[in-house]
Amino acid sequence: MLNIYINQLKEGVKLMKLKILAIIVLFIGGVVFLPTLSTATPLPIGDPILGDSWAQRFEESGVGNFSSMEAFMTSIGDAFEAPGFLNFNSAGWNGSLVRSDYIKATGSTLNWMQFDIKFTGASSDPLTFDFLAWDGGILREAAHASWNGSGWSFEVFTSSYNDTHYNRAVVPEPGILILLGISMASVAFARKKFKG
């Protein structure tokens, strides 16, 4: 009888070890693999907001913490309208139109937020852009957004993101270009004067 009890106890210990091992494997798998399997995209909310141009309300969530967002227009001839990102539901966030094809927004670290993106042209015209969400220098989400004139579709490409596809250069202000032109003309004039 004692031998039966000891054998049952040994079997119970083996099962307990297997259960603990399974829990450890599942925990490690969840920590390592779940962040890379994120399929969150900016979620459009409601119908487009119409006016002289148009905007769409979006919600960003499901990717973990983020502190900045970028969008790059990928369709030819389409553009964002200043300030690009706007109407944040969280105070402290600011959007800026860097170029007509590139907008960015920064603010306090969040894991959920609603905001608008403003576009030029008519809402019936199709367009595409890439949306990126960052937590410092860590890419949390990369999604390709397509508007067909009546609805949105999204394709996540976070795992295949390539930073070299995006131009973040700032276009110089017209005033800076004028000053540069005046200074170059002054140098040319001074050089000509000292030669003659």
7-34 per-position pLDDT tens digit:
766 776 676 665 665 566 555 544 444 4
Domain residue extents for the chain: 2-36, 41-174
Q: What is the mean pLDDT of residues 59-82?
A: 96
pTM over 0.85: no
Q: What would the pLDDT profile of 101-114 be if each residue is shown by its tens digit?
A: 999 999 999 999 99
The CATH class of 41-174 is mainly beta
Q: What is the residue whose two structure tokens read 């309300």? A: 57
Q: Which of 59, 36, 9, 64 is nearest to 157 (CA)?
A: 36
